[in-house]
Amino acid sequence: MSNTMKGFVYAILAGVCWGTFGTFVNFLIGFGFTETAISILGPALMVIFFLARVLIQKPQVLKVDLRGLIIYVLVGVIGVIGSTWCYAVALSKGVPLAVASILTFLNYFIVMIAARLLWNNKITLVKVFSGIATILGISLILNVFGTIAASSIGLFWMALVILSFAGGFLLCKWAVDLGYDYDAYLMYTNLFAIIVLSFMNPPWSVIGEVVTNVQAHGFPVILAILGFGIFPMVLSYYFLLTAYGYLEAPLVTIMYSLDPVVASILGFVIFQQSLMGSQMLGIAIVLAALTWLQLTERAQEKKLLEQAENPANQIVT
C-alpha cells in the first residue's frame, strides 16, 4: 500500500471514529451527564490512557522542550476555545446547530490556504470542488436549508470557532512534522484542555456525576464512558496524528466530513431516526467527493513515482 493510501486509510478511520461522538454524547446525556461534564470527561479519558501508555512504554518523552510546551498549550487552549466555549456561545446567540456544523467545516478552506503558505502544498481544483461538494452533501444530510438565518453576533462567534478549528489542525500537523511523540502530544494537549475547562466545571464535580450516574444506571454507564473514551477520543485523535505523517493537512481535515455521515447512519440504526431521500443523496455526495479526491491524489502520487523511476523523464543538467 502506498503512503498516500495509508494516509487516507488513517484519515478515514479518524473521521469515522469521530462520527461516533454525537451518539456517545446522546447516551451520556440520557444517563444524566451534563454537557460541561462531558466536555471534561473526553480529555480526561485521553490523559489517563496516553499517560499510562507513556509511563509503561516510554517515560522519557514526558520531558518537553520550550517549543513543545508552547505547542501543547496552544493546541489545548485553542481546541477548548474553538470546540467548546466559542461553539457554545455561538449556539446561545441563535446560530442553529445544523448551520454551526456547516460553518465549522469551512475551516477546511482556511487549512488549505495556510498549507499552501506554510508547506507549499498545491491548491488544486479537485481539492476546492471536493470541499464545495462536501459542504453541499453535509447541508443535505443536516437538512440545513430553511434554517440558514443567524444573528451577526452569532456569526462572529462562529468565525472564531472556524479559526480555532483551523488553528488546531495546523498546529497538529506542525507538531507531527517536528517529530513530537504522538502519545505525549495527546496527553499534554488534553491535560491543558482540562486545566482550561476546570474553570468552568471543577473535576470533582465531574467525578460526582460519574459516581451518581453509575449508581443510578449501573454497568451501561461504564460501557458508554469507555466507548466515548475509546472511539471519538483515543482512536480518532491517534488516527488523525498518524494520517498527518502521510498526508497534507487539508487532505486529512476533509475526512472529518464523514462525521455527519456516520452520525446519520448510527442514528438510523441505533435510535431509529428516519433518513430522508435528500439525506441519503447528501451521504452519496460526500462519499463521492472524498472518493474523487482520494483517486486523484493516488493518481498524482503514481505519476510522480513513475517519473522518478524513469530516467528518460528526468532532466539532465
Predicted local distance difference test score (pLDDT) of residue 316: 47
Residue 23 confidence (pLDDT) above 70 = yes
pLDDT at 98 over 70: yes
* 159 exposure class (CB count in 10 Å sphere: 0-12, 13-18, 19+): middle
Q: Is it the case that residue 314 has pLDDT exceeding 70?
A: no
From the centroid of its chain, how far is CA 240?
Answer: 8
Which range among 45-49, 85-89, 172-176, 288-292 shows the weakest confidence by mean pLDDT? 85-89
pLDDT of residue 317: 41
Report pLDDT digits (tens) over 129-159.
999 999 999 999 988 776 566 678 888 988 9
Convert the pLDDT of each residue in 37-92 to its tens digit: 888 898 999 999 999 999 999 999 999 999 999 999 999 888 777 777 788 788 77
